[in-house]
Amino acid sequence: MREPTFWILTALASQPRYGYSVMQQVAQLSGGAVTLQAGTLYAALDRLTAEGLVELDRDEIVDGRTRRYYRLTSDGAEALGVETERLRRSLEAATSQLAARQRFGLGPAAALRAAW
């Protein structure tokens, strides 16, 4: 799962949203670090719908503009849960390896390097 897909599922987890609302929610959740491109978003929503991770909730018309709401399916929630576990393991691995790097680089550890 790539970044945009992950964030879209995350934004839809708590409640149904329409495309533009997903964009805003992702921007907020990521602290402004992630800005979904419109092309990416709507293509992803179509793809995720086809995959069954997301489904159409309803259409609303506000100020003459259509808002197409999507919701996460139970498959989508499960996929996000699996992805979250994967993130947890990745984070753990990187953290431990970076810590090992500190020990490797600091102090009189030159002998250690030779031993390896």
Partner DNA sequence: CGGCACGTTCAGATCATCTTTATATTGGCC
Partner DNA sequence: GGCCAATATAAAGATGATCTGAACGTGCCG
The answer to whether residues 53 and 72 touch, using CB atoms and an 8 Å cutoff, is: yes
Q: Does residue 93 touch DNA according to CB under 7 A? A: no
CB of 26 within 8 A of CB of 36? yes
Alpha-carbon distance values, 64 to 10, 17, 24, 67 (Å): 28, 18, 20, 10
Answer for which of 32, 33, 65, 116 binds DNA (CB under 7 A) is 65
Q: Which segment (38-46, 58-66, 101-109) binds a copy of itself by CB under 8 A? A: 101-109
The verdict on 116 binding DNA (CB under 7 A) reads no
User: Does residue 3 touch DNA according to CB under 7 A?
Assistant: yes
List residues binding DNA (CB under 7 A): 1-5, 18-21, 36-47, 62-68
